[in-house]
Structure 1
Amino acid sequence: MTATAPGVDKPRKVKRGGSVIGNAGLYVAIAIAALLFLVPFYLIIRNALMTDPEITGESWKWVPTDIRWGNITEPFHDVTVDFGRSMWNSTVVAVLMTLGTLLVCSLAGYGLARIPYRHANKVFYAVLATLMVPTAVTFVPSFVLVSSLGWVDSYRGLIIPGLFSGFTCFLFRQYFLGFPKELEEAARVDGLGYWGAYWRVVVPNSLNFFAAIATITFISGWNAFLWPLVIGQDPSAWTVQVALSSYMTNQTVNYHLIFMATAISILPLVFVFLFLQRWLVQGVAQTGIKG
C-alpha cells in the first residue's frame, strides 16, 4: 500500500462516459440544425430545375424527373423583366451603400470614442435615440425629401438615405473604445492628427472588424425591398428583390422562374458570406459589447 501525504488530494478518475455522450448529443444537434438550415436551399434548387406541373403536382419528388438546365438562362430572356439590369442595380446599391456606411459610421464612431468634446455623450445618446424610432415613422418624410430633390428612379435616392445607421455607429464606437490608445499616441508623436491616426493606424489594424460590418451591411443592402420598391418606380431602376416580386401577379405565378431567379439572386450573398465568414464572428466579438 502507498501512503498519501497529508494535505494532498487523491487523483480523481475522469468519467469519460458522460463527456462522450454529451459530445455525441452535441454533434447530433449540430447536424440536425445544419440540415434544417440547408432545407430552404434544397427546395430552391429543386424547384428551379423543375417544371411548374412537377412543382404543383400531388406526388412529391425529391429530384426532378427531367432536370431543366435551360431554366438557368430563362430569367435573363424574360421580356417583361430585365433581370440582368436588376442584378446590376442591386450590386451597385449594395456595394456603394457598404462603402459609404463604413466611411460615415466609422468616422462618427471614431469621433465619439476618441475626440474630446463636452457634448460627445449627448450626441451619442441622440444617435442611440434614433434606434428607438420605428422605420415606418421616417419612411414618408424620407420619401418626400428624396422626391423633392429629384432622386426618384436614381442611385442617389436608393443609396444616400441609407448611408447612416445608428446601430453601426454604436458598434464602431464600442470597438474604438477598446482599440489600443498607445498606437494612436505613437502616431501623434510622429505628427499625425486625428484623421491621420484614423486612416493610417486605426483602419489598417481594424480590417477584421470592418470586414464583419461590411458583410452585414452588404447583405442588408442586397435584401432591401420596401425602399427600392417605392423609389425605383421605373423598371430600369428596379433592384433584384423588386424584380422577383414582379414574377408573382394576380393572374399568373411562374413558379420555376421565381425559384430560378431566387437561386441566381442569392449567389452573390453566398460568395460574400463564404469569403468573409471568418471575419464575421471575430469582428462582432471585438465590438466590446458585454452581456
Structure 2
Amino acid sequence: MGQVAASEGTAHRRMPVRRKRRAPVATALRYVVLVLAAVVFLVPFYLLLRNALSTDADITSPNWTFFPTTLHWENFAELFRDSSVPMARSLVNSVVISVTQTLGVLLLSGLAGYGLARIHVRYANAVFYAVMGTLLIPAAITFVPSFVLVSTLGWVSTLRGLIIPGLFQGLATFLFRQYFLGFPQELEEAAMIDGCGYWRTFWRIVVPNSGGFVAAIGTITFIASWNAFLWPLVIAQDASSWTVQISLSTFLTAQTVNLHELFTAAIVSIAPLLVMFLFLQRWIIAGVERSGINE
C-alpha cells in the first residue's frame, strides 16, 4: 500500500511538469496560426500597394516581382490630375456624407433607443416591433420607392438625396435599446432625484458614460456609409456628386482600363478607413460585445 501511495504521489508531482512542457508548444502553435492569418489578411493590401506604384506593363508582366524596380509615386499625382474622374471632389463628398450620416444615426437612433428602453408609454412595444420589422424587409423592395420619393423631391444628384435617407437606421436603434436596457438605472435615478428629466439625464449622465459604445456604433456606421455603392450609383448621376466608390468604379467601366490608376484610387479610398480602424478598433470590439450582437 505504501508503494502504491508513493507511486500515485509521484504521478501527481509529474503532471504539472508535463503541462509546463506542453505550454510552450501550444503557445508556439498559436503564434504560428496568428502569423499565417495575418499574412493572409495582409496579402490584398500588399497587392494594392505594389500595383499602385507600378506601371500597367509591370502589373500585366508575366515576370512577377515583389516590387517593381522603380516605384512610381507620381501615380498618386496623376490620379488627382485626371480630368475624367473628380477624385478630390469625390473624397470631399464621401467625407461629408459619411460624417453627416454617422452623426445623424448616433443622434436619432440613440434618442429612439433610449426612449424605447426607458420611457414606458402605451405603444412603446408596438413602435419597437415596427422598427424591428423594418429589418426584415429586403433593401431591394424599398429601393425603387425610395428613389421615386427622392426624385419627386428633386434631390437627384444632390448631397441631400445621398444623406437624408440614411440618417436613421433600425439596426442602430435596436442596438442602442439593448445597450440602454443594461445601463445602470441607479445613475439615472440619482439624476432624476436632482431634478433632471429624461432629456438632461440622457445628455448629462447616459451619453458621457457610454462613450465606448457610441464610438463603436459611430465607427461601424461611418464605414458602412463610406463603402455604400448602389444608392450613390443611382442618385449621384452628376459627376459633382460622385462618392469615392463611384469614382473608383469608373476605372472598370471605361473603354480602356487604367490599371495603375485603379489600384492607386483603391489605396486612396481605403486609407481613411484603415487609419480610423487602427485608432478605434478597441472601441469597435468593446461596442460589439456590449451590444449583445455576438450572442
Q: TM-score, normalised by structure 1?
A: 0.94
Tell me the C-alpha RMSD between the 2 structures: 1.7
The alpha carbon displacement at 1:11 in A equals 6.3
Change (3 A) 1:231 1:21: same
Q: Which secondary structure state, in structure 2, belongs to the residue aligned with residue 233 of structure 1?
A: coil
Does the 8 A contact of 2:288 with 2:294 survive in 1? no
Letter in 2 for 1:256: H
Distance in 2, matches of 1:12 and 1:172, equals 52
Letter in 2 for 1:230: V
Q: Which secondary structure state, in structure 2, belongs to the residue aligned with residue 100 of structure 1?
A: helix
1:62-83 Cα deviation digits (max 9, x unpaired): 1012111111111110011111
The alpha carbon displacement at 1:185 in A equals 0.5
Change (3 A) 1:290 1:121: farther
- Choose the corresponding residue for 2:121, options 117, 131, 143: 117
Change (3 A) 1:290 1:79: closer
**Percent identity among equivalent residues?**
59
Residue 144 of structure 1 is matched in structure 2 by 148
- Choose the corresponding residue for 1:13, options 2, 12, 15: 15
Structure with the bigger percentage of helix: 2
The alpha carbon displacement at 1:119 in A equals 2.0
Q: In the alignment, is residue 87 of structure 1 matched against residue 91 of structure 2?
A: yes
Q: Which deviates more, 139-148 or 115-124?
A: 115-124
Distance in 2, matches of 1:35 and 1:136, equals 36
Residue 9 of structure 2 is matched in structure 1 by none
Distance in 2, matches of 1:132 and 1:121, equals 17
- Choose the corresponding residue for 2:108, options 104, 107, 110: 104
1:226-252 Cα deviation digits (max 9, x unpaired): 101111100000001000111123520
- Choose the corresponding residue for 1:242, options 246, 264, 280: 246
The alpha carbon displacement at 1:153 in A equals 1.2
The alpha carbon displacement at 1:285 in A equals 1.4
Change (3 A) 1:30 1:277: same
Does the 8 A contact of 1:86 with 1:237 survive in 2? yes
Q: Which secondary structure state, in structure 1, belongs to the residue aligned with residue 122 of structure 2?
A: coil
Distance in 1, matches of 2:294 and 2:37, equals 26
Q: Which secondary structure state, in structure 2, belongs to the residue aligned with residue 18 of structure 1?
A: helix
Residue 7 of structure 1 is matched in structure 2 by none
Residue 269 of structure 1 is matched in structure 2 by 273
The alpha carbon displacement at 1:18 in A equals 2.6
Distance in 2, matches of 1:249 and 1:100, equals 33
Does the 8 A contact of 1:49 with 1:71 survive in 2? yes
Q: Which secondary structure state, in structure 2, belongs to the residue aligned with residue 98 of structure 1?
A: helix
Q: Which runs of 5+ in 1 are unaligned?
A: 5-9
Distance in 1, matches of 2:293 and 2:115, equals 19
Q: In the alignment, is residue 191 of structure 1 matched against residue 171 of structure 2?
A: no
Distance in 1, matches of 2:138 and 2:112, equals 22
Does the 8 A contact of 1:100 with 1:163 survive in 2? yes
Q: Which secondary structure state, in structure 1, belongs to the residue aligned with residue 69 of structure 2?
A: coil
Q: In the alignment, is residue 128 of structure 1 matched against residue 135 of structure 2?
A: no
* Paired residues, number: 286
Q: Which deviates more, 99-108 or 113-122?
A: 113-122
1:143-199 Cα deviation digits (max 9, x unpaired): 000111111111111011011111111110110000000111111111111111101
Q: TM-score, normalised by structure 2?
A: 0.93
Distance in 2, matches of 1:133 and 1:144, equals 18
Q: Which secondary structure state, in structure 2, belongs to the residue aligned with residue 132 of structure 1?
A: coil
Post-superposition, which runs of at least 4 consecutive aligned residues in structure 1 deviate over 4 A? none
Residue 170 of structure 2 is matched in structure 1 by 166
The alpha carbon displacement at 1:17 in A equals 2.6
Does the 8 A contact of 2:48 with 2:267 survive in 1? yes
Residue 154 of structure 1 is matched in structure 2 by 158
Letter in 2 for 1:279: W
Distance in 1, matches of 2:292 and 2:87, equals 42
Does the 8 A contact of 2:114 with 2:176 survive in 1? yes
Distance in 1, matches of 2:79 and 2:101, equals 26
Q: Which secondary structure state, in structure 2, belongs to the residue aligned with residue 204 of structure 1?
A: coil
Residue 55 of structure 1 is matched in structure 2 by 59
Does the 8 A contact of 1:76 with 1:83 survive in 2? yes
Does the 8 A contact of 1:178 with 1:288 survive in 2? no
